[in-house]
Amino acid sequence: MTSPIMPTARTARPTPKSRQVQSVPAWMFEPDGEDSGNAPKRTRQRTIFISDCHLGTAGANAELLLDFLKKHECETLYLVGDIVDGWQLRKGWYWPQAHNDVVRAVLKMAKHGTRVVYVPGNHDEHFRDYVGLEFGGIELLDDDVHVTADGRRLLVIHGDQFDNVVLYHKWLAFLGDWAYVALLRSNRWVNRCRRMFGLPYWSLAAHMKKRVKNAVSFISRFEEVVAHAAAERGVDGVVCGHIHSAEIREFGDITYYNDGDWVESCTALVEDADGTLRIVDWAERVREETMRERTRPRLIKAEAVPA
C-alpha cells in the first residue's frame, strides 16, 4: 500500500509542461531526417550569413526569420552582428516567444552539425568580451575569414568598426535618430494593417531609405570604406551588415557583400555549392508566394466577399 504522504511518481510530475510545449513550433521536435513526412523541405546552402536581427526589440521580424531558418540548412551559419539588441534590452525587457524560437532554431542547427559563428556587432557588443569562447556550439569571434567553395577569401565583420570614418549618424541625418525610430514604428503599424487584410510584410523603412539622397550617398561611402579596409587585409572580399542595406558590389578587385537585416528588409546572403553568393530577400519571396496562392483558381466562398 502506498503512503499518502509520499508522492507517487505519477502525482509528483508537474503538469504545466504541456503549456510550454504548445508555444514552441512543432517542427522543433520533428526528426531532422528526410524521412520525416511533414517536415518542410529545406534548401541546402554551403553558407548562410545573417545580421541585424535586433532580437529584443519590437522591430525585429522574428517570425519571418524563423520561417527562413526552418526552410534552410547549411554547413556554416554566420551571425554577422546585432543579432540580439543588448542596448534595447537594458532599457526594458522585451522578449516574446518568437525571439526565443529564433535562438532555439540556431542552437538546434549548431547541435545538428552546422558550424555557427557569431561575430558580435555594436548592439550586441557585450558579447565581445567573450570572443574566442564557445557557447552551445556557437563560436564567438571578433571577425573571421571565410573561404568560399571557389577558393576566395572573404573577411566577415559586422561593420560598425568603420563608423568613425564614415560618421554613421550621418545616414540618419536626413531625419534624425528619433525620426528613424518613428519610421520603424510606422513600419510596424503599416504591417499590422497589412496583416489585418491578409497582406504579407512590406518594408516602409527600406522603401523610404532608397528614396532619400543623403541615405543613399552615406551607404555608398560606407561600402567604399569597408571595401578599402578589406583590400588592406589582403582578402578577396568582405561580408558585413550594420547599415541594413543588402548589396553585392565590386570595388576594383574587392567584392563587397552586405547581408542586409531583419528589421527593415528581411534579407540574408547565401553561398551556393559552387561558391556563388546571392542575396535572398525573404520578405519578397513570401510576398510572391502569397500572390501565387491568391491567383491560383479556386472556389469562391460567399462569406469571404467583403460587404
Cα gap 58→184, rounded to integer Å: 9
Q: Are the C-beta atoms of 271 and 47 separated by less than 8 Å?
A: yes
Closest distance between Mn ion and the C-beta of residue 43, in Å? 27
Stretches 24-32, 80-88, 100-108, 250-258: which one binds Mn ion (CB under 5 A)?
80-88
Q: Is 70 in the site for Mn ion (CB under 5 A)?
A: no
E strand residue ranges, 149-196:
153-156
Residue in the block written with cell 537594458? 90
Of 236 and 263, which CB lies nearer to Mn ion in the complex structure?
263
Burial of 199 (0-12, 13-18, 19+ CB in 10 A): middle
Q: Is 82 in the site for Mn ion (CB under 5 A)?
A: yes
Closest distance between Mn ion and the C-beta of residue 33, in Å? 37
Closest distance between Mn ion and the C-beta of residue 163, in Å? 9
Of 237 and 241, which CB lies nearer to Mn ion in the complex structure?
241
Stretches 113-121, 182-190, 228-236, 262-270: which one binds Mn ion (CB under 5 A)?
113-121
Cα gap 90→107, rounded to integer Å: 23
Q: Is 122 in the site for Mn ion (CB under 5 A)?
A: yes
N-to-C CA span, the chain = 68
Of 209 and 242, which CB lies nearer to Mn ion in the complex structure?
242
Closest distance between Mn ion and the C-beta of residue 131, in Å? 16
Residue in the block written with cell 558590389? 249
Scan residues 153-172 and list those touching Mn ion (CB under 5 A).
160
Q: Is 46 in the site for Mn ion (CB under 5 A)?
A: no
Closest distance between Mn ion and the C-beta of residue 51, in Å? 8
Cα gap 243→205, rounded to integer Å: 13
Cα gap 168→218, rounded to integer Å: 8
Of 173 and 273, which CB lies nearer to Mn ion in the complex structure?
173
Of 146 and 158, which CB lies nearer to Mn ion in the complex structure?
158
Q: Is 245 in the site for Mn ion (CB under 5 A)?
A: no
Sheet with strand 43-50: strands edge to edge = 134-135, 138-140, 115-118, 72-79, 43-50, 267-271, 277-281
Among 46, 54, 209, 242, binds Mn ion (CB under 5 A): 242
Q: Is 121 in the site for Mn ion (CB under 5 A)?
A: yes
Closest distance between Mn ion and the C-beta of residue 241, in Å? 7
Q: Is 99 left (phi over 0), alpha (psi -120 to 50) or beta?
A: alpha
Q: Are the C-beta atoms of 117 and 156 separated by less than 8 Å?
A: yes
One-letter amino acid at 243 equals I
Stretches 76-84, 143-151, 271-279, 290-298: which one binds Mn ion (CB under 5 A)?
76-84
Closest distance between Mn ion and the C-beta of residue 303, in Å? 47
Cα 60 to Cα 35, 63, 72, distances in angstroms? 33, 9, 19
Question: Residue numbers of the site for Mn ion (CB under 5 A)?
Answer: 82, 121-122, 160, 242
